[in-house]
């Protein structure tokens, strides 16, 4: 069975398991991709993926980049939608100082606070690993890439937006072509 063809019940071993993809699609900063355009990209992805174990809903909410406490708020919001688990990324809702560019929070502070609060909130956390794309092996965790001495490909969100607006080619490893098409039509 191909990984894309498996259901969440197959992967998790839980009958009837469902994954809620619940992105924030509210107002963004001026140089970022608007919430409406983000919404359009998720509609395209939902059609492309077409997996009955995945449900899509859109949260008309703006990220506040408030670090670990905002991660807790997101857990509570998702619990109110009936979720039992929360996938939390590295540096979720992190922000940098506009004066010196230094991070206000550590890369794993949000994951640590969420994990320590999970019992009280009645939500299990699933920390997202730091995944990178390599020339040699495709997607692997950063520690595997370092251990094997693999060549990591990087593309920041800022550079991606500049490339997008300039009409430059976007690497397939970075974004689905269907998403790039929607972005080019709407940015």
Q: Token match 């997202």: residue?
A: 128
What tens digit of pLDDT does each residue of 14-65 get?
777 888 998 888 887 777 788 888 889 999 999 998 888 889 988 888 888 8
**Which residues have CB under 8 Å from 113's CB, separation 6+?**
68, 69, 71, 72
For the chain, give the mean pLDDT: 87
pLDDT value at position 6?
A: 55
Alpha helical stretches, state H, the chain:
8-12, 35-49, 68-80, 109-121, 142-148, 157-166, 177-186
Task: Please identify which residue in the block is written with the tokens 């001495």.
Answer: 149
């Amino acid at each position: 069975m191909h990984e894309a063809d498996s259901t969440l019940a197959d992967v998790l071993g839980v009958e009837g398991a469902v994954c809620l993809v619940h992105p924030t699609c509210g107002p963004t900063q001026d140089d970022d991709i608007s919430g409406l355009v983000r919404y359009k990209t998720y509609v395209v992805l939902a059609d492309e993926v077409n997996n009955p174990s995945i449900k899509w809903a859109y949260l008309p909410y703006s990220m506040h980049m408030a670090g670990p406490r905002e991660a807790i708020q997101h857990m509570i919001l998702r619990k109110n939608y009936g979720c039992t688990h929360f996938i939390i990324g590295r540096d979720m809702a992190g922000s940098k100082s506009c004066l010196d560019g230094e991070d206000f929070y550590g890369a794993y502070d949000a994951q640590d606070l969420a994990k320590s609060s999970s019992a009280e909130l009645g939500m299990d956390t699933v920390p997202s690993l730091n995944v990178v794309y390599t020339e040699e092996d495709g997607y692997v965790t950063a520690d595997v890439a370092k251990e094997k001495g693999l060549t990591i490909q990087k593309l920041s969100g800022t550079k991606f937006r500049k490339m997008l607006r300039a009409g430059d080619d976007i690497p397939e490893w970075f974004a689905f072509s269907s998403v790039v098409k929607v972005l080019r039509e709407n940015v």
